[in-house]
């Protein structure tokens, strides 16, 4: 569904709640899966801040058959180029988008997971996701704390 001028962002994009939200400082691995069965696409956004010398950050998307990550496997081409202190990767913004037809839906894969790994030192990072192209609009807005328009 295209977002018309009169549609509010929160009417056509759903946040999966805190299931995919992660704020990390330091060596950390975060992994979570959300259902995309009622949507046509998902986007995962990464925002980075300061990092210590030697720190690295990897982010990739996986697909699974349930919210616990059963049968998880990589979604081809859905990984960022590693961010690291040596290259000065501070205050970066990265987006990874996936369409449901890129998943193995015939194999029962309807969950997408974002896996962020911070190694080698402290790295401020925030990951959040949105589901778009809902099969049933307007999307529920119960995962938002407050909507101001």
**CATH assignment of the domain containing 103:** 2.60.120.380
Asked whether residue 147 is assigned to any structural domain, the reply reads: no
Domain that holds residue 112: 11-130
Q: Give the separation between CA 43 and CA 131, rounded to whole angstroms.
A: 7
What was the pLDDT predicted at 77? 97
Asked whether residue 6 is assigned to any structural domain, the reply reads: no
Residues in the chain: 149
110: phi then psi, degrees, rounded to nearest 5: -130, 15
> Using an 8 Å Cβ cutoff, are 103 and 97 in contact?
no
Asked whether residue 117 is assigned to any structural domain, the reply reads: yes
Provide the number of structural domains found in the chain: 1
What was the pLDDT predicted at 45? 92
Asked whether residue 144 is assigned to any structural domain, the reply reads: no
pTM to 2 decimal places: 0.85
Asked whether residue 113 is assigned to any structural domain, the reply reads: yes
What was the pLDDT predicted at 58? 92
What was the pLDDT predicted at 19? 55
What was the pLDDT predicted at 52? 87
Asked whether residue 3 is assigned to any structural domain, the reply reads: no
Asked whether residue 140 is assigned to any structural domain, the reply reads: no
Q: Give the separation between CA 92 and CA 88, rounded to whole angstroms.
A: 10
Which residues of the chain carry a pLDDT beneath 70? 1-4, 17-26, 28
What was the pLDDT predicted at 95? 96
Asked whether residue 145 is assigned to any structural domain, the reply reads: no
């Amino acid at each position: 569904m295209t977002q018309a001028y009169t549609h509010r962002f929160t009417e056509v994009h759903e946040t999966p709640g805190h299931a995919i939200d992660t704020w990390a400082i330091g060596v950390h691995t975060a992994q979570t899966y959300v259902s995309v069965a009622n949507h046509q696409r998902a986007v995962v956004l990464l925002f980075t801040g300061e990092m210590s010398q030697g720190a690295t950050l990897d982010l990739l998307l996986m697909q699974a058959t349930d919210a616990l990550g059963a049968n998880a496997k990589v979604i081809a081409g859905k990984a960022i180029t590693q961010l690291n202190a040596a290259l000065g990767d501070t205050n970066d913004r990265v987006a990874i988008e996936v369409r449901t037809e890129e998943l193995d839906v015939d194999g029962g894969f309807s969950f997408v997971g974002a896996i962020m790994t911070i190694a080698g030192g402290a790295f401020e990072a925030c990951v959040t996701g949105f589901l778009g192209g809902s099969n049933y609009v307007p999307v529920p807005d119960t995962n938002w704390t407050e909507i101001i328009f």
